[in-house]
């Protein structure tokens, strides 16, 4: 597991805690992790490591003599690394505490909730969602591995009232044949985020599971969550303002979010700019990466690298990562816009849009598509499907059909891998 090796080595960790299902990965990592002095296994006797249960039983009951200060480092949390090596994000106790309080309010976490932890805990969103509900005294039900049938079973068994998913999970539930017969009546609060979701898929699952839906947009570097599309926004999106189902929402309590041009000037309503955030939750910086820190933290603002625009009501619409923007024939093309159109075809299950080198246009808009079931479509059919729905320069020049699209463990498309595969 090269990524595990890199993170353990880069963080200069001296102890590593692991569960029984990770023994093989840990054994592979040992030779490369010379700084690690303590290998601690959780869940019974795990050969080759100290027992967490025994260490806990032998621990002193005396409180720590020196509690941490608000400015002390709470965690080094690594980014998902979709475009390169993961970067270690340094968050203090104060920043993470603030983020937990702010998000608990925006997500409407309640003491009597039974919250399912479906997102992996190494994911920043997975951690903050659970901490928000733990902070108010809610009950947590842990989903060991995402399998739609297990989600349905545990929701009914434990009467789960709140759950958080990444969009790839929501779309997998929508494709599961068991969904229509599943008893999801106890679900009141469905939270999702971390990547875009096509509006038609979101609308479809809202029809099947009639809960309150909340979208959360954030970044590890900003203390995780900062913009929210609440349950009223979703209902309005279904009734009178359909565009809201494609919006990230509006800044939550404790956050100021602006959209800047390249000179750090605010852009007008309707104009695309880079999202920047000001809050008491921001990272201290990137671990051992001062140059990257200086480019990201500027004059008290955190530059997210995400591009978006704001409407007259203050709703933010993200169009893509700055690094993923396609420049074709001198025109800016935002992949998410093209992906939304292609995914609206009834035979399209999954799609990724990216730029590829082109001798005339500089970059060509290229689409990789996964078809649903036994569907059969041609490149020309998909290109024609886009006509009238997109400007001519946004229509894909090339369409590739693939069996699946690579996503990382947090559900984000790995477009760098897709480019290399389809080169």
pLDDT at 177: 93
Tokens of 219: 């970044």
Identify the pLDDT of residue 381: 95
Structure confidence at residue 25 (pLDDT): 84
| Partners of residue 395 on adjacent β-strands | none
Closest to 163 measured CA to CA, from 140, 190, 182: 190
The position carrying tokens 């019974």 is: 44
Phi-psi region of 44 (alpha: psi -120 to 50; beta: other; left: phi over 0): left
Smallest CA-to-CA distance from 32 within 10, 57, 62 is with: 10
pLDDT < 70: residue spans in the chain? 1, 44-45, 81-84, 409, 423
Question: Looking at residue 49, what is its pLDDT?
Answer: 79
What domains, with CATH codes, occur in the chain? 2-58 (no CATH), 73-321 (3.40.50.12780), 326-422 (3.30.300.30)
pLDDT score recorded for residue 126: 84
Residue 156 to residue 161: CA distance in whole angstroms? 10
The string of DSSP codes covering 119-179 is S-TTSHHHHHHHHHHHHTT-EEEE-SS--HHHHHHHHHHHT--EEEE-HHHHHHHHH-GGG
Task: Please give the Cα distance from 328 to 360 (Å, whole number).
Answer: 9
DSSP 8-state secondary structure symbol assigned to residue 236: H
CA–CA gap between residue 217 and residue 251 (Å, rounded) = 9
Q: pTM for the whole thing?
A: 0.86
**Contact (Cβ atoms closer than 8 angstroms) between residue 252 and residue 227:** yes
Question: Comparing C-alpha atoms, which of 44, 13, 4 is closest to residue 287?
Answer: 13
Question: End-to-end CA distance of the chain, in Å?
Answer: 25
What angle is formed at CA 31 by the lines to CA 27 and CA 35, rounded to 5 degrees?
110
User: Which pLDDT value is given to residue 416?
Assistant: 82
pLDDT of residue 215: 96
Torsion of CA 130, 136, 141, 145, to 10 degrees: -10
Which one, of 18, 270, 229, 285, lies nearest residue 107 by Cα?
229
Q: How far is CA 144 from CA 21, 95, 118, 416, in A?
A: 11, 28, 8, 29
The predicted pLDDT at position 359 comes to 84
Residue range 321-342, pLDDT digits in tens:
888 889 888 888 989 889 989 9
**pLDDT value, residue 320:** 87
Model pLDDT, residue 84: 64
């Amino acid at each position: 597991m090269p990524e595990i090796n890199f993170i353990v080595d880069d963080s200069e960790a001296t102890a590593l805690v692991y569960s029984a299902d990770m023994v093989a990965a840990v054994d592979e990592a040992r030779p490369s992790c010379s700084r690690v002095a303590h290998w601690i296994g959780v869940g019974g006797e795990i050969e080759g490591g100290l027992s967490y249960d025994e260490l806990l039983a032998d621990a002193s009951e005396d409180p720590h003599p020196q509690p941490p200060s608000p400015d002390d480092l709470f965690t080094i949390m690594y980014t998902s690394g979709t475009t390169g090596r993961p970067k270690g994000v340094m968050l203090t106790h104060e920043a993470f505490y603030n983020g937990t309080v702010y998000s608990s309010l925006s997500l409407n976490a309640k003491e009597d909730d039974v919250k399912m932890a479906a997102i992996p805990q190494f994911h920043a969103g997975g951690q903050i969602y659970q901490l928000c509900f733990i902070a108010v005294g809610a009950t947590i039900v842990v989903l060991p591995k995402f399998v739609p049938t297990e989600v349905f079973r545990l929701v009914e068994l434990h009467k789960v009232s709140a759950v958080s998913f990444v969009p790839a999970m929501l779309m997998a539930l929508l494709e599961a044949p068991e969904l229509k017969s599943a008893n999801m009546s106890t679900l009141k609060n469905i939270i999702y985020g971390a990547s875009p979701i096509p509006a038609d898929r979101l609308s479809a699952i809202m029809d099947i599971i009639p809960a309150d839906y909340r979208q959360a947009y954030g970044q590890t570097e900003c203390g995780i969550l900062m913009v929210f599309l609440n349950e009223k926004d979703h209902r309005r999106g279904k009734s009178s303002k359909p565009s809201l189902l494609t919006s990230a929402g509006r800044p939550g309590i404790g956050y100021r979010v602006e959209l800047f041009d390249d000179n750090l000037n605010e852009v007008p309503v309707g104009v695309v700019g880079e999202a920047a955030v000001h809050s008491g939750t921001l990272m201290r910086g990137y671990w051992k990466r001062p140059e990257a820190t200086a480019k990201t933290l500027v004059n008290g603002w955190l530059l997210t690298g995400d591009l978006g625009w704001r409407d007259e009501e203050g709703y933010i619409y993200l169009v893509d990562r700055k690094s993923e923007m396609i420049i074709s024939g001198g025109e800016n093309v935002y992949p998410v816009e093209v992906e939304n159109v292609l995914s609206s075809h009834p035979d399209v299950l999954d799609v990724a849009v990216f730029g590829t080198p082109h001798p005339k246009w500089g970059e060509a808009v290229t689409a990789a598509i996964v078809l649903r079931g036994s569907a059969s479509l041609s490149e020309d059919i998909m290109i024609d499907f886009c006509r009238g729905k997109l400007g001519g320069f946004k229509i894909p020049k090339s369409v590739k059909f693939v069996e699946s699209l690579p996503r990382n463990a947090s559900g984000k498309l790995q477009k760098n891998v897709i480019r290399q595969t389809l080169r």
